[in-house]
Structure 1
């Protein structure tokens, strides 16, 4: 099994994210996300419930506003409800999605984050 390298998939954002910032994440894969989503936990569920650990608690940095499947990938709109000054939460999310998809033999080709509104 091959694992995607986050440094070839993820591009750091070139804008500042603060509380209430809305971003759009567009992910391109080498196969159908719908096939993965039909097998168990969906990508939408992951995005709705995603947290990361810090100290003794889990942080839920954003809420999912919109989600749509594409032919090969997905598009999600996320609104930040908390924002760490030290942590790139989008990169952590990207790594987790890569790990889940790679385990299912689905590969992320491109991860793009755009500012939707602020």
Structure 2
């Protein structure tokens, strides 16, 4: 008697769906799935270790960074680095110019952070 006979029908269908999606009839799916899984695991572990907020944003960058096309992967990585450098540099300049005025710093930093995010 098979173990699948004792499971409910929706669970069997779900397992069959996963088996079809991850089968070797579609080459490249298993390695890409494992790459995403390991990447997500590392991002979550690093984010939890260093108490980085917005883990979902880090995972979104990971999903956009791991593309099937190498051009898109490099393009997204370069854009991410450029946006991060611009954001940090602009925050340092804001901190330098508005050292004694925290309200002005907050008012200016908000739009700059949103602009660098998009």
Q: Shorter-chain-normalised TM-score: which range?
A: under 0.3
Of structures 1 and 2, the larger Rg is shown by 2
Q: Which has the higher strand share?
A: 1
TM-score by length of 1: 0.24
TM-score by length of 2: 0.24
Q: Which has the higher contact order (CA 8 A, sep 6+)?
A: 1
